[in-house]
């Protein structure tokens, strides 16, 4: 899954068709958490728009405004919660890193993942608009896929990170399902790097640059039983 991510350098985001000026007032984030508002790029016809969406997809037909932070690529066409958005409401979610936790017994060690050159990238996402009693909520979910070799050592899922050459196809409503599914392949492990970070990331109220600084893994520090 993907439950926390970063956008440390929002002005470095380059998504074709979205003016860079729209990112000038975006503050750096080091611990973006579910239910918070996140940036997402959508496209209607040929026009792209950068907006703020609630992180947690609430389907339009749902009785509640709560929703899914992640959508498994394998079930996008099978689950009612995702299928309509997958076919007609896809988005790009700018990021430059994300966290995942390795479990050993009761111990959970967070790791930070980013590209080798630390540049921003985009998660594949889907979105929907929920309306009830005059209240409107636009929300989204990050799609997850099977892990690459780097992630597989830590977790059995990873967010679907899209190479820039696939942005157009992902946002184009006319792209066929077969091509869309092929786009959701695991991102190349050789283009990424990771390291353990502080468990402070577990607390959503902590949002500063210390969270992405390397630390000694608490898993390695545990005494061996043998």
Rounded-to-integer distance, Cα 7 and Cα 1, Å: 18
Asked if residues 148 and 188 have their Cβ atoms less than 8 Å apart, the reply is: yes
Write the DSSP symbol of residue 174: T
Residue of 77, 100, 140, 178 marked catalytic: 100
Give the strand pairing for 47-55 and 37-44: antiparallel
Rg (alpha carbons) of the chain, rounded to whole number: 18
- Strands (DSSP E) along the chain, which ranges? 5-7, 29-32, 37-44, 47-55, 70-72, 90-95, 97-104, 107-115, 121-132, 135-145, 158-159, 161-162, 192-196
Rounded-to-integer distance, Cα 78 and Cα 127, Å: 16
Write the DSSP symbol of residue 208: S
- Tokens for 161, please give them: 């990170």
Which are the contacts of 105, defined by CB distance < 8 A and separation ≥ 6?
none
Give the chain's end-to-end CA distance (angstroms, integer). Answer: 33
Q: Is 2 a catalytic residue?
A: yes
Distances (CA, A) of 58 to 4, 6, 191: 19, 22, 33
Residue of 2, 118, 140, 178 marked catalytic: 2
Catalytic residues, which ones? 2, 100
């Amino acid at each position: 899954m993907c439950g926390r991510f970063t956008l440390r350098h929002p002005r470095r985001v380059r998504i074709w068709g979205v003016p860079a000026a729209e990112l000038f007032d975006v503050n750096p984030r080091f611990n973006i958490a579910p239910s918070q508002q996140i940036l997402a790029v959508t496209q209607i016809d040929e026009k792209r728009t950068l907006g703020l969406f609630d992180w947690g997809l609430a389907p339009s037909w749902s009785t509640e405004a709560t929703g899914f932070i992640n959508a498994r690529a394998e079930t996008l066409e099978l689950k009612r919660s995702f299928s309509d958005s997958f076919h007609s409401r896809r988005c790009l979610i700018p990021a430059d890193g994300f966290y995942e936790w390795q479990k050993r017994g009761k111990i959970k060690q967070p790791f930070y993942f980013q590209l080798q050159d630390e540049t921003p990238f985009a998660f594949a996402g889907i979105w929907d608009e929920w309306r009830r009693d005059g209240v409107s909520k636009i929300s989204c979910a990050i799609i997850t896929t099977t892990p690459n070799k780097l992630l597989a050592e830590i977790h059995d899922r990873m967010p679907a990170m899209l190479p820039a050459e696939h942005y157009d196809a992902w946002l184009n409503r006319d792209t066929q399902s077969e091509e869309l599914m092929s786009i959701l392949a695991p991102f190349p492990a050789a283009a990424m790097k990771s390291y353990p970070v502080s468990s402070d990331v577990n607390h959503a109220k902590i949002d500063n640059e210390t969270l992405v600084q390397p630390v000694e893994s608490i898993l390695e520090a545990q005494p061996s039983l043998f």
